[in-house]
Structure 1
């Protein structure tokens, strides 16, 4: 059993897809006992992503493995009275319930927060939806379905991410799911902390739209303070210079040296003391006004050099980093030193595969993945055997 900081916390996980499972994966990595409750057909994400050759027929792809590692699985059909009764019994002994159904689904199942909190007053009930829950403020989009791309568009990311001619480009990772899921994990742990003193749970609600808007905080204050409407600006920053993606012989590098001290040091390192002495480039504000010129100067220096040569010259002196692909990241000694690559078993293959590790580091209570993702209903028999309601032990899932 994990000695993580959430050791002993019991979580009922009704989530599917990405935002909710990512949140409960964080809780599992932190040591919580996360029981994933799935419908008879399983989480729709089970077959998403690559499924390795030799996998058990009841196994899953890399997508499911990555965000459901370390959890247990039980099948309950919540469309039946028996299924909801079994869930309510599980809730009676749980600390947290997490769901990401569309608004109103849990109410129709007679499993609302209000109903479940009567069963367990100390329950922290958490949900993540595209546009939140009416309990926290009724959005006009409450009934709209949402995916990462939709939220990136509506909450501001696509409005400032793209080419300088204005064509929007989505952020590569599913940040419209992952950041809300991370925020929900913070909300859950905060509510658990408060409940230690009050003895009472509460309703925790994160809207994907809200979380991504908070992530785009710069556009809000920029518009409020200046009246400007921020637009896509390619790889440049509207407030900082240099803050650029620059060409190299074998790819691209990033250089970010907007402070005046770092700017002068950068000029020394690229053998351009004349730039450091130029009074028209002395401050960040001046460099932002002439950022095209700053970019051109740096690009002329970087273009004939390899990424390794640039890093050898600038590394540790000014903020610099190479644009890396997955293979380069996996080979980076930093990720090995920080245990950011984790090997997990894949059922039926006799092999392990790599998933991203846990960035939260603790000195006494390590947070790390507690094993592979579960097969569908893998832990159902033992969990149902502990339930007192009639028929609990008879359920069977075909694999």
Structure 2
């Protein structure tokens, strides 16, 4: 891929990041990767994830950034403000006047109690996009009976329907390995921010953007909604299978595990021929997806018996590129996969206090001219100065405001 610019598509967008833990920082991490200037506004003791780790053996604990913090705060800057104090609140308002976006994931009412709620900040900057991420949303968008409940990833996975359809066939619910109850809501909020910023650029009108973790996971589990509506069923855990497609499974090989998806008749025919069972293509029990789904136990038995006598590498060699298949990779496999290297999905960043860099996940969004990329390590606590940021942002703000092409501050602008 040839790039013609080093700046991302959100270059020039100024973001005040009041988030902590995973969901909110993932939102602002995406904005950072896309080129926004994200200022992490932290209390004197910093984001709680700064102390979680993990750390490498030999890293200086007084300087090193833990993996949790480094991964989702890369490329940001950090200032320290006590928003509960008059001085800190005043300085924050000064920054808001020249910012484009504020993102926070406090519990409902926290910002209002500090006098920094959306309506108050919008008076300072009518173009401001104010984005909030909470477990059960904000009353401005619809008051939830759970509005005051605290929530973490696992709670969102449970209540949003994900855990209820994930797990072995005996019905025992399972959460996902990654924190999708944080990461998916965070991703949706980033999308909401980008859409609202575009609206503000065209109209001069900012707005409040709200994503609830519960809502986001429910949207992720959209299949169970139409299954219940169309069929009147309550979906349960399906193991590694699929309620509508067959075969569509993760199965054991001689030396590992592999995903096999051949619900189309074309792919099933290739699979049958590779197993030296061409008769399966015309067998009425397996002739199409509906038939295979009705006889899924037999499909799994036949396919499972063949896979159990094949190495994972042999299956990949015989079916790769012909049938949708893929090995179940662990972290070591991923680090050794050429795809990951060629797609820049493992990125080395500086580790403060060490000459050896650390590796974090890269940006999956690719552009031809305005690349998204990891723009550096995470910030040390208070590494940047609020007054310096204010001067920088004010200069950019003034130059944009003076531009003959700048939009006005109303819908008629």
* TM-score of the alignment, normalized to the shorter chain, above 0.5: yes
Query: Hey, what's the Cα distance between the residues in 2 that align with 1:385 and 1:183?
Result: 29
1:209 deviates by 0.3
C-alpha change, 1:82 and 1:47, in structure 2 (3 Å) is: same
Query: Hey, what's the Cα distance between the residues in 2 that align with 1:2 and 1:41?
Result: 34
Contact persistence 1:237–1:243 (CA under 8 A): yes
1:270 deviates by 1.5
Query: Hey, what's the Cα distance between the residues in 1 that align with 2:61 and 2:311?
Result: 45
Alignment of 1:57-206 (within 5 A): 57-206=62-211
What is residue 396 of structure 1 aligned with on the other side?
none
Say yes or no: does 1:7 pair with 2:7: no
C-alpha change, 1:385 and 1:209, in structure 2 (3 Å) is: closer
Say yes or no: does 1:284 pair with 2:286: no
1:383 deviates by 2.8
Which of the numbers 353, 359, 371 marks the counterpart of 1:354? 359
C-alpha change, 1:36 and 1:214, in structure 2 (3 Å) is: same
Contact persistence 1:157–1:216 (CA under 8 A): yes
Which of the numbers 205, 209, 212 marks the counterpart of 2:214? 209
Is the deviation greater in 14-23 or in 240-249? 240-249
What is residue 315 of structure 1 aligned with on the other side?
320
1:346 aligned counterpart, secondary structure: coil
What is residue 265 of structure 1 aligned with on the other side?
270
What is residue 20 of structure 2 aligned with on the other side?
16
C-alpha change, 1:381 and 1:192, in structure 2 (3 Å) is: closer
What whole-Å deviation, never above 9, does each CA across 1:271-307 have from its counterpart, x for those lacking one? 1101011022111111111111001101111101111
What is residue 29 of structure 2 aligned with on the other side?
25
Query: Hey, what's the Cα distance between the residues in 1 that align with 2:176 and 2:292?
Result: 27
Structure 2: 5+ residue stretches without partners = 394-413
Contact persistence 1:74–1:383 (CA under 8 A): no
1:135 aligned counterpart, secondary structure: coil
Structure 1: 5+ residue stretches without partners = 389-399
Contact persistence 1:152–1:212 (CA under 8 A): yes
1:312 deviates by 0.3
Is the deviation greater in 50-59 or in 110-119? 50-59
Say yes or no: does 1:343 pair with 2:348: yes
What is residue 42 of structure 2 aligned with on the other side?
38
TM-score normalised to structure 2 length: 0.92
1:84 aligned counterpart, secondary structure: helix
Query: Hey, what's the Cα distance between the residues in 2 that align with 1:80 and 1:182?
Result: 32
2:233 aligned counterpart, secondary structure: coil
What whole-Å deviation, never above 9, does each CA across 1:367-399 have from its counterpart, x for those lacking one? 0010000000001266378499xxxxxxxxxxx
1:236 deviates by 1.0
Query: Hey, what's the Cα distance between the residues in 2 that align with 1:163 and 1:301?
Result: 22
Say yes or no: does 1:47 pair with 2:51: yes
1:203 aligned counterpart, secondary structure: strand
Contact persistence 1:249–1:303 (CA under 8 A): yes
What is residue 394 of structure 1 aligned with on the other side?
none
Query: Hey, what's the Cα distance between the residues in 1 that align with 2:294 and 2:140?
Result: 46
C-alpha change, 1:108 and 1:58, in structure 2 (3 Å) is: farther
1:245 deviates by 1.1
C-alpha change, 1:28 and 1:110, in structure 2 (3 Å) is: same
What is residue 401 of structure 2 aligned with on the other side?
none
How large is the RMSD of aligned CA atoms in angstroms? 1.5
1:350 deviates by 1.2
1:355 aligned counterpart, secondary structure: strand
2:360 aligned counterpart, secondary structure: strand
Contact persistence 1:2–1:370 (CA under 8 A): no
